[in-house]
Structure 1
Amino acid sequence: MLRSMYSGVSGMKGFQTKLDVIGNNIANVNTVGFKASRVMFKDILSQTVSGVTAPTDTQGGVNAKQIGLGTTVGSIDTIHTPGSAQTTNVPTDLRIDGDGFFMVKMSDEQETPFLTRAGDFHIDGNRNLVTSDGLFVLDSEGAIITLGDEVTGFSIAQDGTIVTQGGDEGEGVKIGIAKVINPEGLEKMGGNLYRVTANALGGDETEVVPLGANSVEDGTGAIIAGQLEMSNVDLTGEFTEMIVAQRGFQANSRIITTSDEVLQEVVNLKR
C-alpha cells in the first residue's frame, strides 16, 4: 500500500484534533478565567531509503534519502496569558493581576487544593467564601475563609487582606494565592479548576505553598476586587486557525483520493 495514503490519514487525524481544540476555545470565549489551548504537530519517523556516505579525499559525501511517514500531535499547550478585565463592582468578584492562582477545596479533608483563575466568589449561608460550585476559598494559611457573625461588611485590599466592618474577627486574613513553576503542567479538571501535578511544581513535589497576594519577590500579583478575568481566547486568531485546519484537512483528504486513483490504475494494469 502507498505510504502517501497513510500520511494523508495521519494528517487528517491531526487536523481533526486541531479543530476539536479550536472548537473548545471558541465555546469558552466568555468563560471566566479560561485559558486557551493550541495544538503543535511533529513528523513521524522517516523511512531511510539510503544512508549517509562520508566524504573522502577522492569523492564527495552523499546525503541520506528519507521518506516521511506522516504527522502526529506533538503537544497540546495551555496558553497562560492574562485575559481581559471585566468590571462588575461586585465585592466578591476578584481578579489576579499577576501569575498566581486562587486555591479552593471541596472539604477540609482534601489535602492538595485545586487552583483556579476564576474569581467569581460568593458568601454562602455559613458565611464562608466559596466558588459558584460551593468549593471553599482558602486563605494564605491554607484554611477556609469564614466571616464572623458580627461582621456587617467587608472589602478586599490589593494584597488580599480582608478588611471587615462591625467586628474584628477575620481581620487581617488574606486571600490565599499559589504560584507554580510551570503553569502549563497543570491538569484541567473542568469547572475552571486545575489539578497540581509533579511537572507543574518540579520533581516529585505536589504540595502547594499558600502565599499572600501582591508579593513582589514571589510574583503572585495583586488582587483587584470588583473585577473578573475573562477568557484569553482571541476569536480572530481562532477563526484564522480554523480556516488553516479546514484547508489542511481538505488537502490531506485529496492525498488519500489521489493515492486511491493511483492504486486503481495499478489494479487496471491487468485487464
Structure 2
Amino acid sequence: MMRSLYSGVAGLQNHQVRMDVLGNNIANVNTTGFKKGRVNFQDLLYQQLSGAARPTEEVGGVNPKEVGLGMLIASIDTIHTQGSLQTTGVQTDLAIQGQGFFILKNGEKSFYTRAGAFSLDRDGRLVNPANGLRVQGWMARDVEGTQRIDVSRDIEDLIIPVGSKDPAKATTSVNFACNLDKRTPEIPENAGPAAILEGTWGTEFKIYDNFGQEHILRVDFTRVPGQNNSWQATVVIDPESPTPTRTAVAIGTGPTTPGAANTFTVNFSNLGTLAGAVDANGNASAAEGDVNVRVAFDVLGSTPGPDGQPLRQEFNINLGRIGSVVNTVTQFAEKSSTKAFMQDGYPMGYLENFKIDQSGVITGVYSNGTNRLIGQVAMASFTNPMGLEKTGENTYVVSNNSGLPNISPSGIAGKGKIIAGALEMSNVDLAEQFTDMIVTQRGFQANSKTIQTSDQMLQELLTLKR
C-alpha cells in the first residue's frame, strides 16, 4: 500500500520537473539561438516478491514477481537542432547554418553560443553587447605587403578599426590591352594637325605617386613610317600641366634618368599578335613572355635628394604576352581600342564599412575603393554538444562529457557556414510544447489519483475494526 503512495509522489515530482522544462522552453520561444530542452523518464527500482524458477522435469519455469517503486528522470537533454534564420539587415548580426558555436571570452574564460547578436564597442571590438563578452577569431597580419589570415595561431579578440587609414600606394604597374587598327595611315613629314590627329591613337589613364597624388598617364601610338607592323609610343605624364613633368622610358636595364627618351616602339607579327618592344636606345624585350616597359617621372612636391633632383618614381607599362590575344595589345584591321584597363595605385583612404562572408572573413571597405582583410570569425564544434553546460545568457561552457572544442574556420570539421545580417531563432515548436504540456498535465493528474486512491484504501483499512 505504501509503495503506491511513494510511486505517486515520484510521479508528481518528476512530472513537475518536466513541466518546469516545458515552461522554460515556452518562455524562450523568441530567444535568439535558444535550444529547447527535453525530459526523458525511466522506471525506478523494483522490489522482488519472488525470483524466477527454471523449468524442471515435472513443471515449467516461473517468472519473477517484481513490484516497481515509481519513476525518475533519466535525462534532461538539450536539443541542438537548427533554428530558423531571421534576416535583420544588421551587418554585425551573425547566424550559423549548420553545426558549431561562436566563441566568446571573458578574460581567459571561454564561452560558446549560437546567438550572434553582436556589435562593436568603443574600441572597435566585436562583442556581445548584452554582457560585453568578446567574439574570438583571427586578425589579419601584413606579410610582405599582403594581408593574410593565419588560422593556425591562437584565437584573439576581433577588432574592426572603423575610421582607420589605408595609406596611399604608388602605381607600380599599368596594364594595356585591346587593338591598334592596322589600317591607320602613316603620318607624312610636315603633316598638318588634322593628319597627325587621324594617324594617332591616344589613351589616358589615372595613376598615383607615393603621396597618393593623382597624375594622368598619356600614351600616343603612331604608325612608324615604312614599317607595316610597328608603332611608336610616346609617354607623357600630366600633359595638361603648366610645368612639364620629366618622363623617361626604358626596357630591361636601360636608363630612366632625367633627359632619357620618352618613346618606345611596339612591334607586331604578320598575324597581328604582339611581337615585342624596343626603347629609343635599342634595348629590346625578351623573345617570349610579357612585354614590360619601364617608365620613370619626377614626383613634384617631393624633397630633393643628395643630387638636388626631386624623387623619381618608376612603374611598368605591361603590353601583354607575346603571341597572345587575351589582355594583350594586338594589331588587326579593326578600330583602335587599345587602352589601360588596370593600375595598382590608389590614394589614402579611410575605413568606411566592412562585410562578413559565409566563411566568417571580415573585409574592410575603404573610401579609396580598396578592400582589405581585417580578420576571420572562429567557430568551435564538440564531439558531444549535448554535454555542454548551460551558463545562462545564451552561453555554454565545456563539461567533462562534452569533449574539448575543435576550433577552426567555418566549413571545416563539420562546422556550418556563417550568415551575416541574420540571427538564428529559437528551435522551440509551440505546437509540440503544448502537446507535451497536455500529456504532462494528464500524467500529473493520474499520479495524484494514485495517491488519492491509496489514501482511500488506507482509510478503509483503518475502519476495519469498527
TM over 0.5: yes
1:1-16 residue pairs with structure 2 within 5 A? 2-16=2-16
Tell whether 2:146 aligns with 1:118.
Answer: no
Alignment of structure 1 residues 165-176 onto 2, 5 Å? 165-166=365-366, 171=373, 173-176=375-378
Normalized per residue, which structure has more helix?
A: 1
Q: Which residue of 2 aligns with 1:234?
A: 429
Cα distance between partner residues in 2 of 1:78 and 1:57: 54
Aligned to 2:454: 259
Q: TM-score, normalised by structure 1?
A: 0.93
Q: Any idea what SS the aligned residue of 2:20 has?
A: helix
Equivalent position of 2:159 in the other structure: 146
- Structure 1's unaligned 5+ residue stretches are none
Q: Structure 1 CA distance, aligned partners of 2:55 and 2:419?
A: 66
State the one-letter code of the partner of 1:139.
G
Aligned pair partner of 2:364 in 142, 147, 164: 164
Equivalent position of 2:196 in the other structure: none
Q: Work out the CA distance in 1 between the residues paired with 2:35 and 2:66.
A: 39
Task: Give the corresponding residue for 2:411.
Answer: 214
2:123 aligned partner, one-letter code = N
Which residue of the other structure, out of 115, 118, 135, is the alignment partner of 2:133? 135
2:390 is aligned to 188
- How do 1:17-166 and structure 2 match up within 5 A? 17-107=17-107, 110=108, 112-132=109-129, 133-140=131-138, 141-148=154-161, 149-150=163-164, 151-166=351-366
Number of aligned residues: 261
**Equivalent-residue separation in structure 2 for 1:154 and 1:102 (angstroms):** 19
Kept after mapping to 1: 8 A contact 2:382/2:406:
no
CA distance in 1, matches of 2:23, 2:372: 44
State the secondary structure of the residue aligned to 1:146. Answer: coil
In the aligned structure 1, how far is the partner of 2:3 from the partner of 2:157?
59
**Distance in 2, Cα, partners of 1:209 & 1:11:** 40
Alignment-mate amino acid for residue 65 of structure 2: K
Per-residue CA distance 1:26-79 (angstroms, 9 max, x = gap): 000000000000100011111000001011233211100000000111100000
1:183-230 deviations in Å (ceiling 9; x for gaps) = 1000000000001112111xxxx4x34210122xx0111100011000
Distance 1:90 1:66 in 2: 62
Deviation at 1:169, TM superposition (A): 10
Q: Distance in 1 between matches of 2:362 and 2:16?
A: 47
Distance in 1, Cα, partners of 2:420 & 2:56 = 72
Contact 1:36 1:78 in 2 (8 A): yes
Contact residue 98 and residue 415 of structure 2 kept, 8 A: yes
- Select 2:420's aligned residue among 225, 230, 248: 225
Question: 1:51 and 1:160 mapped to 2: Cα distance?
Answer: 63
Runs of 4+ in 1 over 6 A off after TM superposition: 167-170
> How much does 1:170 deviate?
7.3
Q: Does the Cα contact within 8 Å between 1:39 and 1:75 map onto a contact in 2?
A: yes
SS in 2 for 1:210: strand
| Counterparts of 2:136 and 2:111, CA distance in 1 | 10
- Could you say which structure has the higher strand fraction? 2
Q: What's the C-alpha RMSD, in Å, of the aligned pairs?
A: 1.6
Per-residue deviation, 1:89 = 0.9
| 8 Å Cα contact 2:86/2:423 also seen in 1 | yes
- Percent identity between the two aligned chains: 49
Listed one character per residue, the Cα deviations across residues 213-268 of structure 1 (whole Å, up to 9, x for unaligned) are 122xx011110001100000000000000000111101100110000000001111
